[in-house]
Chain A
Amino acid sequence: MKLFSKKSLGVLVPVLAVVLLLSGCVNQAQTPKTMETIKIGVIAPMSGDAAAYGEQIQRVIDSYLPKLNEDAKVDGKQFQFIYEDGKCGGSEAVSAFQKLKDIDGVKFVIGGACSSETLGIAPLTKDGSVLVTSAFSSNPAIEGASPYTFTFSYSDDVIGKTIAKEMSKYERVALITEQNDWNVGVQKVVLDEFKANYPKVTVVANETYPKGATDMRSVLEKIKKMAPAAILLNPTPGVTAETLVKQMAEIKDWPGTTIFGQYSYISETALAAAPALTNGMIIIDAPKVNNVELTAFIDSVTKEKGPLTDIGNFYTASLLDDVKVVTGLIRELGNDQAAVQKALKQRTFSGYISNNISFKDSSFPGVGGGIYIVKDGKAEYQQ
């Protein structure tokens, strides 16, 4: 039995064709496009001594995400950030990276935050399967570690050179360093710089202690015995930085010794651990970022989600620049890590940290060092 006669088919087919054509037009005009969700991995210390940094990184990204997705709607895209704990360590960051790449299928990772994390995952990006952009890592070893690894931070080379220049005003200097990639990177640059450019400077003590050590008293006694005119405190940010100044303050007598610090002491929490000792400390870190829009964003995040005092203005700015540049290129070029990497290498970007962010010849954006002096528990920007 035939379902349709030839005659009825002759009518039905053109009618159906017209209906389908019209429905196609209606669909195109009225229903929203299917949104493409682009997953971006974030590797940061979500636990351990530096957990405060991971928490604050998440605060910044989560606060910026609604605006980002609102803007990306025009291109039919939305972004989803997946956080993994790098624990400020290389091996843990590698596990986090592999999970993001193999299970979540991300092509872009923002992180790691600690240099150990970024240096751990950099070799895994050499095949071009994932593009890694850190907002925090500053170890000079990141330079050229992989064509698919970049950082929006300043380089420790710049910071180390600035520290050496400032400390060269003293003849007898001492260094106390935590055994962590970032800190050892800074230590190496400072020592090399003394050797190369400041022959009058004598390093009377160059002490190191294991990562996460809780009792540095014997090391501090050794340094005190050598009576240095200046000491560089070079711990990882967080609890160890606080422990170091607390135990130094217990020893009390540091007459005529100028104390230098790095990024770990920008945080008011670290300075509050030993206010009398840290008052007058000279801190070398990235230059202060002054931007009305950025300040408003920081105030709003602080009000709604909590403070950003540990990562501070500069790293909030570098993180936002990182997210904006990467997501902007993804919106333009698609979820294609190779195309985004090519654009990163070729173009110049404007952001909070600089109006001239460029990765043409480097894995770093080319930002200089800043000098701060601690007054009343706060690091005040000098130059």
Chain B
Amino acid sequence: MFFLQILLNSLVVGTQVVLLAVPLYLVYAASKIYHLALGATGISVAYALYFGLTSGWGWPITILFTLICAIVLGLLSFALLEKLAKKKEHLFGLLVSFSLGLCLEASMALMFGTDGKFFLSTPLPTINFSELYLTVPGAITLVVGIVLSILFLLLTTQTPWGREIKAVSENSYLLSSLSFNASLVRATVLVVASVIAGFVGIMTTFNSTLVPGAGFNIVVLAFIALLVGGVHSLKGTIVAAYLVVLIPELVVGLSSGSYSVSLSWKMVIVFIVAAILLTWKPNGLLERRERVE
């Protein structure tokens, strides 16, 4: 039971990372830019929800306001990154995205303070299965994470939309000559990415504490998962996200007594796992060797 409980807790954390790694992959696939601001975007959306709820707006208006905030942040990212994506200035894109993330984090700190906030002031409601338990936000994260992962896997590999995204980043000029609107594709991807990031931000902070810097750790893990899984493979990214989170979580969680590994070692183990996987499979976990003609 102890192992299963630790596994369940770790799966929730892993799914949070997967849910951020998916939009990170989508943005990369459409623009070749690592959109690191997604972590801060998610937390900003969570603050929007917190603001709505504490202002007494009621759930329907608050959810609408939160959704609008996520869309606006997606469009803001588009406005900042579109020119750089068009010019294929990917490194500048990364820097602009990183700066946007810092800017959002600082803005949240100024507006709401840096002290932690709780959506619920009491312990979270839980779902119990025999001796196992899962918090409600944790359970929602797991279910939505699995559904969205499968959905986006199908969308990117089995539908024309997925091919459009890849084509946009490969040769947007050629695509434009075929009367495809590359900018519209990138704008849609960034808005969708912001909405998913917002969902992750809300669920993560619902499950723990809302602080301005909460998105940083998750986006770092999602970024590592993207690199380890292979930037061209969503399946690889999802598998890598679970691996880089589950291994350290299980090492920390299952060690006990005099051999207990402190939670403070978690990120160290993450980097060790990532380094080993990258050395073993530098092109991505599920990448196959291809014959070069």
Residues of A within 8 A of B (CB): 47-52, 179, 204-210, 212-219, 221-222, 225-226, 238-240, 242-243, 246-247, 249-253, 272-275, 277
Contacts and interface: CB of A to CB of B under 8 A. Distances in A.
B270 interface: no
Given A207-B260, A239-B211, 15 more contacts: A47-B109, A47-B115, A51-B115, A207-B262, A207-B263, A210-B264, A215-B13, A215-B208, A216-B263, A218-B249, A218-B253, A219-B263, A238-B116, A240-B116, A246-B123
Nearest to A87: B114
Interface string B1-23: 01001100110010000000000
Interface string B106-129: 000100011110100111101000
Contacts of A253: 131
Contacts of B252: 218-219
Contacts of B133: 250-252
B123 A52 contact: no
B126 to A, nearest CB: 5
Interface residues of B, number: 35
B122 A274 contact: yes
Given A49-B115, A246-B123, A250-B133, A209 B264 contact: yes
Interface of B: 2, 5-6, 9-10, 13, 109, 113-116, 118, 121-124, 126, 131, 133, 135, 207-209, 211, 214, 249, 252-253, 255-257, 260, 262-264
Contacts of A217: 9
A52 B115 CA distance: 9
Contacts of A222: 253, 255-256, 260
B10 A218 contact: yes
Contact of B260 (A205, A247, A250): A205
A214 B256 contact: no
Contacts of A221: 2, 5-6, 9, 253
A239 B263 contact: no
Contacts of A250: 123-124, 126, 133, 135
A251 B124 CA distance: 10
14 contacts: A49-B114, A49-B211, A208-B263, A214-B208, A214-B209, A215-B13, A218-B252, A221-B6, A221-B9, A246-B124, A249-B123, A251-B133, A253-B131, A273-B122
Nearest to B258: A206
9 smallest CB-CB distances across A and B, nearest first, come from A239-B116, A214-B208, A249-B123, A218-B253, A209-B263, A214-B209, A246-B123, A210-B264, A51-B115
A113 B80 CA distance: 42
Given A222-B260, A274-B122, A243 B208 contact: yes
B126 A208 contact: no
Contacts of B122: 246, 273-275
Contacts of B263: 207-210, 213, 216, 218-219
A206 B72 CA distance: 46
